[in-house]
Structure 1
């Protein structure tokens, strides 16, 4: 790592412009020590002045990017969330974002790209573009959502390996989110079979008053890697049902093609 040797006056003058680099050096150092590091250890590894280091650690802790307990400092949940988003998003060639933007323009509603977590027990939103309407469906990049009640999750679950699906059903409580949530395994399995047969889902089982539409995204090997969806107020969706569904399915097909899927 580069070293910094500045006097206090110079350090104060340079602090605003050097802060981003210093933050990344702290994150890098902590990423190499799961148990955490003391201020002295961090100072040695980053070659940062203790006064600056202490101030930056305090700010990072306030945002949950770092957890400071006693004399030890380690990475916090927000840093891991960002890492998860980067990891998940990096699975795509990067050029599916324009397709998501096209979908949002075509729908005028919130659109999202969801991927399964490593254990296939929930989903994470890898990308979200929200509607500009004051009445809209809201979602955050990096947010974890259940599979059984969301449109994105149901598509993922429908195309999940049978063993993974059985494990999910065995270990998941189907708690109702709305009056439309499938709360028995038999009902959910029937819906998943329909999704696989139709190639899409229209769901109202996640948020009261909202409807979601989702379709699968496949890679070159024909394996599901994501689901693309739009969601918004049910009343608006009913008026545009055919158009919205066609737009989502078209977007999913384009994304799959971009990832090398040839439809066979």
Structure 2
């Protein structure tokens, strides 16, 4: 049996609630049971605190002790089934649009959701929540743009295997849409690689003069990149906000992805 301290009682603080959730997430993501030491390391919390929480979860049937380690219990699987049913009732498009609305409120700018087209060359804007600013970026649902010169296109490329990106660049015949459009294929490859590392892409005056875009991918429960979340606005208004917007877009894309069942693998 795992070493569970009988003198430690889990507190009801928000921190304890967060730790409980993280324990369940860690056990859900792990292909094998986890020891108390493993969970302590993952949560970056003392073993005594984690042990107390595990005892409470075990009492409720959410975890089970086995061979000095812990795994999910029947209560967790019942909760998972209930959550899956709830997710089916709440359509993915609703969850994405809710996140888009939150991002509009945070950023004050227009937010778009785009998906990659079947041709492998373009993306299509499938939803838009417009800024309330009188001067704002405006685009119609159904409009298409090239992948190589848009922030959304670049993060969608970054979500693909490197071999697929290399194949795309090999057949690409880029054209200048503005004086700033990057058309050098080696530079584009480096830009996509950077987007893969950072989790976002940012373009300034690349697809259209005076337009800045910042994007991150949204993933679903199967780890598929289902589309790009994009903030777009007049470039002149964003000169001092590029880092801020990058953080916002990454955070909201992660929040939406989690609501769709995406889990980061340990």
Q: Deviations over 1:92-116 (max 9, x none)?
A: 3532111101101111111101111
Runs of at least 4 residues off by over 6 Å: none
- Find out whether 1:207 has 2:208 as its counterpart: yes
Counterpart contact for 2:213–2:233, Cα < 8 Å = yes
Q: Deviations over 1:225-249 (max 9, x none)?
A: 1110101111211232333222211
1:134 matched to which residue of 2?
Answer: 134
1:195 matched to which residue of 2?
Answer: 195
Aligned positions of 1:1-264 closer than 5 A: 92-204=92-204, 205-264=206-265
Q: Deviations over 1:131-186 (max 9, x none)?
A: 22232111111111110001101111111234432332233211112233220110
- Partner Cα separation in structure 2 for residue 197 and residue 220 of structure 1: 21
TM-score, length-scaled by structure 1? 0.62
Counterpart contact for 1:111–1:130, Cα < 8 Å = yes
SS state at 2:239 partner: helix
Counterpart contact for 2:169–2:189, Cα < 8 Å = no
TM-score, length-scaled by structure 2? 0.61
- Partner Cα separation in structure 2 for residue 200 and residue 146 of structure 1: 17
SS state at 2:139 partner: coil
CA RMSD of superposed structures (Å): 1.9
Of stretches 237-246 and 197-206 in structure 1, the one that deviates more from structure 2 is 237-246
* Count of paired positions: 175
Structure 2 segments unaligned to the other structure (5+ residues):
1-90
Q: Which has the higher contact order (CA 8 A, sep 6+)?
A: 2
- Partner Cα separation in structure 2 for residue 163 and residue 196 of structure 1: 13
- Partner Cα separation in structure 2 for residue 224 and residue 173 of structure 1: 25
